[in-house]
Amino acid sequence: MSAAAALRAPAGAHHVVLIVGGGIGPELVEPVLDVVAATGVNIDWERHDVPEVRGETFPEELLDPVVEAVRRAGVALKTRLVAQARGRFRSPNVLLRRRLALYASVRPVRALPGLAAPHPDTDLVIVRENTEDLYAGIEHEIVPGVVQSLKVVTERACERIARFAFALARAEGRQRIAFVHKANILKMTDGLFLRVARRVAAENRDLAYKDLIVDAACMNLVMDPRQFDVLFMGNVYGDLLSDLAAGLAGGISVAAGVNVGDDCRVFEAIHGDAPELAGTGRANPLPLLLPAAHLLRHLDAGGAADRIVQAAGAVLSGGGPRTPDLGGSATTAEMCAAIAAALPRAAPSAVPPPGADG
């Protein structure tokens, strides 16, 4: 299967793995799933809870049933996995991506009506290579007081993410693609990535291509994000620029993460742990609701996904219930109930169900 090929859902009810971490995750799930259910899309959720971990190590075996389930189903919706480390263990979110070989992180960034944003017309996609760079986590102490972290870049991974980014741009009807790097300083690692990006761009001349040094890309994003359609880059730059772009479009409310591998996709909330909100019932549902909408689009329920986005915009722009971080006083459940109630009526299907009279 090619990197950009859509993963097809089974007939009938869509079987989707639901991965629930700690922090505010458990209290977001039910209200958000109520909105998804209100669209009428039939989903069979297979829930897996991953407990919050505090200590010196993260027991990786906690992820074993999750990994097995996602490999079977091919698709998952995920809250953030929470781990408070006193030691040096890796983030369980990064571990899960690695074990599932989710090499591409896709971050769509589009402002919602009614949400305050420095650039409310922002509409772009950031594609981030997930497996290499400094996120390879290869660190060691050379001598006391001197620590080294290795940046890993391979031609294979660079070419894979570059081809994925061009295929994604073409599939979404976007015309411009930019590669972000620091090859003027990191001449070997980013230099390799830049050479590969230009080689792949030369094979895709129907799309307008440019490459930018990462600091210039940040400046240009802040000045006018409308000049960008799709940007692709290594792991660390992608981590920074995806949050920068979300800030231009309204912050964490519009940030959604889609992690893609050859055989599965995980749609996830990318917010922080928010321990101060855990148990209050007042966490913003949009960081999980928007990935759920992207999940529906992946399941060929694009109409339902559009209705969720339209309803969320209607609630925000019409003075409806908002959680405290959005300037209101509503609970998570109250905001989700308002979004469900605001869902536009579904258009009648042009294709009769199996067995219906023609």
**By the 8 A CB rule, do 339 and 39 touch?**
no
In this prediction the pTM is: 0.88
Of 58, 103, 68, 39, the closest CA to residue 262 belongs to: 103
Q: Which two tokens stand for residue 237?
A: 């730059």
Sign of the four-CA dihedral 259, 264, 267, 268: negative
Cβ proximity of 238 and 185 under 8 Å: no
Structural domains of the chain ordered from first start: 10-102+261-345 (3.40.718.10), 111-252 (3.40.718.10)
Q: Is 146 helix (H, G, I), strand (E, B) or coil?
A: strand
Average pLDDT, the chain: 90
Report, in angstroms and rounded to the nearest whole number, the Rg of the chain calculated over CA atoms.
21
pLDDT tens digits for range 21-33: 998 999 999 999 9
Which one-letter amino acid corresponds to residue 159?
E
55-87: pLDDT as tens digits: 777 888 999 999 999 999 999 999 999 887 655
CA dist 250 and 122 (Å) reads 9
Residue type, 20: V
Least confident among 10-24, 107-121, 166-180: 10-24
Spell out the alpha helix ranges (H) of the chain.
25-38, 64-73, 92-99, 155-171, 189-202, 214-223, 235-249, 286-298, 302-317, 332-341
* Model confidence pLDDT, tens digit, residues 229-238: 999 999 999 9
Residue carrying structure tokens 């799709």:
230
pLDDT at 57: 77
Q: At what angle do helices 286-298 and 25-38 cross, to 10 degrees?
A: 50
Within 13 Å of residue 265, how many CA atoms lie on the same side as its CB? 22
| pLDDT of residue 270 exceeding 50 | yes
How many Å apart are CA 2 and CA 17, to the nearest integer?
23
CA–CA separation, 312 and 38 (whole Å):
13
Gap between the Cα atoms of 241 and 247, Å rounded: 10
**pLDDT, position 52:** 87
pLDDT given for residue 355 in this prediction? 36
Q: How confident is the model at residue 265 (pLDDT cuts 50, 70, 90)?
A: very high
The answer to whether 226 touches 216, Cβ cutoff 8 Å, is: no
| Average pLDDT of the residues in 278-290 | 93
Q: Percentage helix, strand, coil, to 5, in the chain?
A: 40, 20, 40
Q: Measure the CA–CA gap between 188 and 10, rounded to whole angstroms.
A: 45
Give strand pairing partners of 47. Answer: 18
Instruction: Give the whole-angstrom CA distance, residue 5 versus residue 107.
Output: 17
**Structure-block tokens of residue 37:** 């259910």
Contact between 112 and 253 (Cβ < 8 Å) = yes
**In sequence order, what are the beta bridge partners of 210?**
178
| Rounded-to-integer distance, Cα 165 and Cα 42, Å | 31
Distances from the Cα of 283 to the Cα of 117, 193, 256, 328, 356, angstroms: 20, 39, 16, 11, 44
